[in-house]
Amino acid sequence: MRVVVAEDHALLRDGLTRLLTAYGLEVLEALEGTSGLDQALLRPDVDLAVLDVRLPPTFTDEGLRAAIAARTARPGFPVMVLSQYVEQLYARELLASGDGAIGYLLKDRVADAGEFVESVRRVGSGGTVLDPEVVAALMSRRRDEPIDRLTEREREVLALMAEGRSNAAIASALWVTEKAVAKHINSIFTKLDLPVAVDDNRRVLAVLAYLRA
């Protein structure tokens, strides 16, 4: 998997590059700001981007804007966003396409190198990985959406799905059986009007519907 990294802090940029390389990913470019970033994200040999939300020159939302632009030009292009804060407006826009292949993690909560790289790989494979605080922030919305059909337990299951957890991991976190988790997930699909479809990943669509609501 070939990666573009954009991070303004030199030590963190170097650390990300070394970490990804150590786990078998190839870092094609490691940039400190937006200069050359748009072009790098359009390279046909790039499989995924790991971007800081706040990049020079204004240190506001350049990274997210670059990610959104890249996914507009290349629908479904995998992007892992790292941030100190949850930028709700742009996070929602980033998730709005429903294509998946999105990660949004808060820097202070990334404590395990192996787990982080696994999250990057999951995003590169089309999955969605969201920090629990990102999920919580994006859940602050109007309560007149189809998502309101879900029970409290189903919401807990869906929130854990949004973190990228497997059925087994969800079962362990909630102290229930995997069979119970599977029943909750099937109920979620039904309540969110997500029928079985060969070309659709209902798990990803459920998470994105939840976060876009």
Q: Quick one: what percent of the chain has pLDDT higher than 70?
A: 88
Q: What pLDDT band is residue 152 in, cutting at 50, 70 and 90?
A: confident
Place of tokens 């669509």: 205
Instruction: Identify the top-confidence range among 16-25, 57-66, 84-93.
Output: 16-25
Q: Please give the average per-residue pLDDT across 122-148, as a whole number.
A: 74
CATH number belonging to domain 1-131: 3.40.50.2300
| pLDDT of 198 strictly over 60 | no
Q: Please give the average per-residue pLDDT across 134-163, as a whole number.
A: 76
Task: List the chain domain ranges.
Answer: 1-131, 139-213
Task: Give the pLDDT of residue 41.
Answer: 94
pTM (predicted TM-score): 0.65
Task: Give the pLDDT of residue 143.
Answer: 47
Please give the mean pLDDT across all residues of the chain. 85
Least confident interval from 24-28, 81-85, 114-118, 191-195: 191-195
Q: Please give the average per-residue pLDDT across 98-107, as a whole number.
A: 84
Task: Give the pLDDT of residue 121.
Answer: 95
CATH number belonging to domain 139-213: 1.10.10.10
The letter for the amino acid at 106 is L
Phi–psi pair at 96, nearest 5 degrees: -65, -30
Task: Give the pLDDT of residue 15.
Answer: 93
Task: Give the pLDDT of residue 197.
Answer: 60
| pLDDT of 1 strictly over 70 | yes
**For residues 138-150, b (16+ Cβ closer than 10 Å) or e, as one string?**
beeeeeeeebeeb
Q: At what angle do helices 178-191 and 167-174 cross, to 10 degrees?
A: 110
| pLDDT of 164 strictly over 90 | no
97, with CB counted inside 10 A (0-12, 13-18, 19+), is middle
Looking at per-residue confidence, does 91 or 50 come out higher? 50
CA distance 112 to 210: 27
Kind of pairing between the strands at 48-52 and 79-83: parallel
In contact, 86 and 95? CB cutoff 8 Å: no
